[in-house]
Structure 1
């Protein structure tokens, strides 16, 4: 086999291996965040959030047409395919970059060094966190990086073939791909400087004068693309529709003219501009589809003005590079400190190290974990950077430009604020891709040095070294990262959203909070036709005029009576006139904040609506909230206009701050709270039981499967199920009514038990609820977020006659690693109080003393030892505390504990000392009185109590105590 076939075979194997792994780990349906929106908009050819991704929508539409599998899974396959292609392109690119300084391969040993090293770089990138994350869900970042990888590969290939007249085809394909990529994401524009550097170094010897000219022309080229083609060209439609048409025709004619005149440079430039515009033309899909009123039509860009606003992302505002968005965050000392420690270190460096050192876990704020990859990919990449600079300084600058512009430059440009709703590492995969090039070059350099200096010449010896590198880097990365990136069997987004919709009564209206309780619902309704009678109202979008109009006009309609003019003037503007409509100050007689709502029975209820945002109003401004948001006004308006015609709900994910003080009129029925006229009904037990125990049961898929991986975001959402179960259990436990003829039998199936549910005693109901919760959401698979809840569940079981459940939970908690002394003490106290297990409790209390010998902790253990009837040890430990330096509070506790341990003389000594310095301290005087009482020192008791009553004449309890004492002991003390 010739070496070219080895090369092609290696590329094919890399593609197939990564494709198989991504297929094994791809999500079986939609995932959270933007995935539901993108799939729904693709399948229905609707309009997603600005600035849209029209090319992605077209590809998603095609993928959705395949007649197999879940529709969400089909669209996910786009990311799977392009992500595997990216890894293959990385391999092909690294091989060409190595050849530029090393020359072509001439032997099997050369092939092992070049192809093997390049494979390590490619596969290391394949198993980086962010790329793998993007590869297994329906998002735009995978295909965006594909375009970046493709144009970078094509320019590197052009570098090899530049002397061939046919190489111009590669140069012309690049701008077309850039134009197409804008229809996915703007990130691809950041590859232009790297492309320009390759062309410059291929055609010119380095001179500062020509280099600076190239830099200027590159900046101009980027401006032509963005904002030129992206913003300015569409803006000409606003002036005159003929302008962009004429511009296109002029470009077309000029290209033809210069081609015919054989003016190569001019024709290349003009045809490139033409191809960028042609690729960018996919944005016509957004305008066309919006005018056809698709099911989802975000921002409604059906006019030139709204279309331009959509392209320019105006709804998100414009944040400049300076000043940095510090906002006087107390965690940072200055703007520079915020920029470096948050925006650079936390929002990029941490992500970068995740990829090549290791990630602590898939939870918000996860730190770097050296134990995952031992920093070997990072070290090899840094070695590759140095090796590349030494061997080919020009191309190392090319790779560095791609690395910097797709990483640190984005950080500078975005100027992100703190906090962010989610991790943002997915946006920097271009930078991680560039660094992986150096990993491949580093692996090649290491193999080459081993061959040269360690005299490893034989192919078999090189193969062994290469195998070791594979095991240490890509294989280790695969093994350590597989579970965290495996989404097979994860149906939570589908099931959770379905259960939200099924909570609602027919023709209901539900207010949702953000992406994760809105986009999956859109997917179910528009793609899967699930509960299309329910109207989803997203509170974030409810601040926009276009969304309010769509809710009012489209079926199922939301009761809104505001006219277009009113919406445009007062709800969609932010000038003084509009803001006055939202002014909501507290304690202003002429503008009360009390709102009254009529009830179906002819009555009404009212409540005080709190302001939800603050705007400064001038001198005397207190800084308190004084305005309502548009979404707040709309909630009040919808409640009023609805007048109980449609059932209204709030998803359980809606925060209290978005409920406008309505909590007393919201009753839990499952994954949503229903708005009701009655006050104080926290749950609807019948509806809640029906949903949790019956309606949801087929849609808890795989929540009991320990082989399915869930991330921190999913765990947080799943706690809402557990919270509902526990509230239902608490409700029946408080009632504690006897049952009918049936009793709960754990051996029977859940369906059989549910049929007899209302014939159970309330205690049996609670057991059935708890067992169902543990069966559907076992804490071994879906961890409980709070140890207090773990113990609470165990205590419920113990109260109901199953103490082994509490013991099992206690054992799990107490066997955890790195428990704090406070946790050890708490678990020991639980063993003592609830299990009466004195042996285990004593062991845990002794462990506490080994890890924390502070006076405060010793006093806690003294109390515990006293409960264990270990009086001698308690006194001994208390003596140790007494010998240390004590403040008044500690000394009071010491005296009190001596009293409880029947060490009356010692207690008396300390209390008398304390009484001298703190004669007005009721706890000290009370303790001293107890000592006198125990020692039967009646004269002292009476003297102290009379003194206290004299100085505290309003202390009725002390007066009564003195009266009782006088009645009992008057004769004995005379």
Structure 2
């Protein structure tokens, strides 16, 4: 029954859709490998189940990304000690079904155990404690794996409902001999159990609501809109690939762009599809693709299959069609013939374009500004709306947009165009307000340009960025304007929060030297040494200051 539900997979694959992962229709063995998830490794899932990839307590307990209990006790709205009530109610429901209808109850219990305990054993998720030091195998799961346990959550939710219903039934039977008024009060009170789903709804609705979430759509749109006409666009993972495929196949956006996923490019079936489905020229026959394997050169350079695909596409198609890399592709993958491609890359919007050799990692300033400032090109709907739920992945991916803004702004700054750089970063902070890098970059620009009021307003309004660093910038600006009292207050605030903050300490030292305040300087040095007793340089500074303070005619002499 488990396999029969997936008979549609080879049937659909045989139609040669544009996205045909693993090409499971090519043979029965390929279909079985697909169902056993061998695309994620050579081992079958059955074999992998018996190889310990995690500690038992982490797989069953409350452990990040993969612990069953971590997800289980958050499903029904009541967490912590309150969840015990729901858990006991669910167990009670299971027991009652078994007691009343053993055939149904035992089958139900078996299903629940298969979907929970059985799946924990079968999936054997990795917790990172047994990661291979060289291959990286068995690294901690890359994302929350709660979705694998959805059937178990549903079945146990059903058990809670059954338990609640039977509990109310027992209460009604128990108070049957009571007088009318107490009976009505008790029975009515017991009906509160049927409000339990509202707790789950209240706790989980915001986390699950996607009615105003356009992040995947806009992420795909921004990458495709940045790409050159008819380009090959290299992406890396799920999040920078599937939204693009959806945009192209469902919405018909930029179907001229050929999206090539580098992670999948380590699979021979995918390399063949680059030829057959996309029409890309790799200069390789299918037989040669079958013989591809990773190799190491004499100088120690490792060429994965994905590296060989990049080399082949640039060598054979690089002069015929544009080659682009998504900004989400890491530096380690941006190589040609084993060498970094920095001198060949030009940033345009959210992609790196492979171009003629020049300065490392140049920026096409005008095309990028046009992209980031044109509403019909760059989209960031809901990113600055705190009422829309964003998970860790959404925060990370949308911060990539802010990084794009900053790379263009930095190119403008280096060219001396501070005004346009400032306007661009202000736009980044407005649209992606939780980007600490954007906030701190804008603060630096304000400080550099002496725009103290703007800097102060930014610090007051933002909840992001390193507060200590921002206060230091404002304090320096205040000191330059000779507003010493305000600058002193800011530097002291930073030191109060972090007594070992060297930058704040040195700024206060400069301020006291500039204002010739020996006594506050001495107290500052003493307090610093209390928190940093091994700082010999400050010890020498304190000794020198105390000598000067005792010599008549010197600054600070005889101060009390």
The answer on 1:341 being equivalent to 2:69 is no
Match of 2:523 in 1: 876
Q: Spell out the pairing of 1:884-895 with structure 2 (5 A cutoff).
A: 889-895=534-540
Tell me if the contact between 1:650 and 1:672 (Cα under 8 Å) persists in the aligned partners: yes
Match of 2:82 in 1: 376
Which of residues 476, 498, 521 is equivalent to 1:833?
A: 476
The answer on 1:586 being equivalent to 2:299 is yes
Tell me if the contact between 1:859 and 1:894 (Cα under 8 Å) persists in the aligned partners: no
Q: TM-score scaled to structure 1, two decimals?
A: 0.48
Distance 1:301 1:735 in 2: 53
Q: Spell out the pairing of 1:344-423 with structure 2 (5 A cutoff).
A: 344-346=61-63, 347=66, 348-356=68-76, 373=79, 375-386=81-92, 389=95, 393=99, 394=102, 398-417=107-126, 418-423=139-144
Deviations 1:415-438 (A, max 9, x none): 222321211101102222233234
The answer on 1:535 being equivalent to 2:258 is yes
Tell me if the contact between 2:409 and 2:420 (Cα under 8 Å) persists in the aligned partners: yes
> Taking structure 1 as reference, are residues 499 and 860 closer, same or farther at Cα in structure 2, changes over 3 Å only?
closer
Which of residues 839, 847, 864 is equivalent to 2:508?
A: 864
Tell me if the contact between 2:444 and 2:473 (Cα under 8 Å) persists in the aligned partners: no
Tell me if the contact between 1:652 and 1:672 (Cα under 8 Å) persists in the aligned partners: yes
Shift of 1:648: 0.1
Tell me if the contact between 1:287 and 1:307 (Cα under 8 Å) persists in the aligned partners: yes
Match of 1:314 in 2: 38
Shift of 1:686: 2.0
Tell me if the contact between 2:349 and 2:372 (Cα under 8 Å) persists in the aligned partners: yes
- Aligned residue pair count: 516
Shift of 1:649: 0.6
Task: Say which SS state the counterpart of residue 511 (structure 1) adopts.
Answer: strand
Task: Say which SS state the counterpart of residue 830 (structure 1) adopts.
Answer: helix
The answer on 1:561 being equivalent to 2:216 is no
Distance 1:446 1:515 in 2: 46
Distance 1:905 1:800 in 2: 37
Shift of 1:810: 1.8
Q: Spell out the pairing of 1:444-483 with structure 2 (5 A cutoff).
A: 444=165, 447=168, 452=174, 457-459=182-184, 462-467=187-192, 469=193, 473-483=196-206
> Taking structure 1 as reference, are residues 299 and 840 closer, same or farther at Cα in structure 2, changes over 3 Å only?
same
Q: Spell out the pairing of 1:152-551 with structure 2 (5 A cutoff).
A: 179=1, 182=2, 230=3, 280=4, 283=7, 285-305=8-28, 306-316=30-40, 317-318=42-43, 319-325=47-53, 338-341=55-58, 344-346=61-63, 347=66, 348-356=68-76, 373=79, 375-386=81-92, 389=95, 393=99, 394=102, 398-417=107-126, 418-444=139-165, 447=168, 452=174, 457-459=182-184, 462-467=187-192, 469=193, 473-551=196-274
> Taking structure 1 as reference, are residues 448 and 693 closer, same or farther at Cα in structure 2, changes over 3 Å only?
same
Distance 2:80 2:5 in 1: 47
Task: Say which SS state the counterpart of residue 701 (structure 1) adopts.
Answer: coil
Distance 1:684 1:698 in 2: 16
Deviations 1:2-32 (A, max 9, x none): xxxxxxxxxxxxxxxxxxxxxxxxxxxxxxx
Q: Relative contact order, CA 8 A, sep 6+: which one is greater? A: 1
Distance 1:300 1:673 in 2: 30
> Taking structure 1 as reference, are residues 866 and 397 closer, same or farther at Cα in structure 2, changes over 3 Å only?
farther
Task: Say which SS state the counterpart of residue 73 (structure 2) adopts.
Answer: helix
Q: Spell out the pairing of 1:415-814 with structure 2 (5 A cutoff).
A: 415-417=124-126, 418-444=139-165, 447=168, 452=174, 457-459=182-184, 462-467=187-192, 469=193, 473-555=196-278, 557-568=279-290, 570-571=291-292, 578=293, 582-586=295-299, 611=301, 627-660=302-335, 661-679=340-358, 680-694=360-374, 696-697=376-377, 699-736=379-416, 762-775=417-430, 777-779=431-433, 783-784=434-435, 786=436, 788-800=437-449, 802-812=451-461
Distance 1:492 1:825 in 2: 31
Task: Say which SS state the counterpart of residue 374 (structure 2) adopts.
Answer: helix
Task: Say which SS state the counterpart of residue 516 (structure 1) adopts.
Answer: coil
Deviations 1:696-733 (A, max 9, x none): 54633333444433222122111122111112122122
Alpha-carbon RMSD: 3.7
Shift of 1:644: 1.7
Distance 1:464 1:315 in 2: 54
Tell me if the contact between 1:798 and 1:804 (Cα under 8 Å) persists in the aligned partners: no
> Taking structure 1 as reference, are residues 507 and 897 closer, same or farther at Cα in structure 2, changes over 3 Å only?
farther
> Taking structure 1 as reference, are residues 288 and 683 closer, same or farther at Cα in structure 2, changes over 3 Å only?
same
Task: Say which SS state the counterpart of residue 480 (structure 1) adopts.
Answer: helix
Match of 1:234 in 2: none
Tell me if the contact between 2:90 and 2:156 (Cα under 8 Å) persists in the aligned partners: no
> Taking structure 1 as reference, are residues 893 and 509 closer, same or farther at Cα in structure 2, changes over 3 Å only?
same
Distance 1:885 1:535 in 2: 58
Shift of 1:510: 0.8
Task: Say which SS state the counterpart of residue 487 (structure 1) adopts.
Answer: coil
> Taking structure 1 as reference, are residues 414 and 311 closer, same or farther at Cα in structure 2, changes over 3 Å only?
closer
Tell me if the contact between 2:77 and 2:200 (Cα under 8 Å) persists in the aligned partners: no
Tell me if the contact between 1:488 and 1:708 (Cα under 8 Å) persists in the aligned partners: no
Task: Say which SS state the counterpart of residue 772 (structure 1) adopts.
Answer: helix
Shift of 1:401: 3.0
Tell me if the contact between 2:412 and 2:421 (Cα under 8 Å) persists in the aligned partners: yes
Shift of 1:324: 0.5
Tell me if the contact between 2:115 and 2:149 (Cα under 8 Å) persists in the aligned partners: yes
Tell me if the contact between 2:402 and 2:432 (Cα under 8 Å) persists in the aligned partners: no
Greater percentage in helix: 1
> Taking structure 1 as reference, are residues 389 and 898 closer, same or farther at Cα in structure 2, changes over 3 Å only?
farther
> Taking structure 1 as reference, are residues 404 and 834 closer, same or farther at Cα in structure 2, changes over 3 Å only?
farther
> Taking structure 1 as reference, are residues 835 and 342 closer, same or farther at Cα in structure 2, changes over 3 Å only?
farther
Task: Say which SS state the counterpart of residue 433 (structure 1) adopts.
Answer: helix
Deviations 1:544-577 (A, max 9, x none): 222222212334x212111121112x12xxxxxx
Q: TM-score scaled to structure 2, two decimals?
A: 0.80
Task: Say which SS state the counterpart of residue 296 (structure 2) adopts.
Answer: coil
> Taking structure 1 as reference, are residues 441 and 303 closer, same or farther at Cα in structure 2, changes over 3 Å only?
closer
Distance 2:94 2:60 in 1: 29
> Taking structure 1 as reference, are residues 637 and 833 closer, same or farther at Cα in structure 2, changes over 3 Å only?
same
> Taking structure 1 as reference, are residues 802 and 463 closer, same or farther at Cα in structure 2, changes over 3 Å only?
farther
Tell me if the contact between 1:862 and 1:877 (Cα under 8 Å) persists in the aligned partners: no
Match of 1:940 in 2: none
Distance 1:504 1:828 in 2: 40
Q: Spell out the pairing of 1:31-46 with structure 2 (5 A cutoff).
A: none
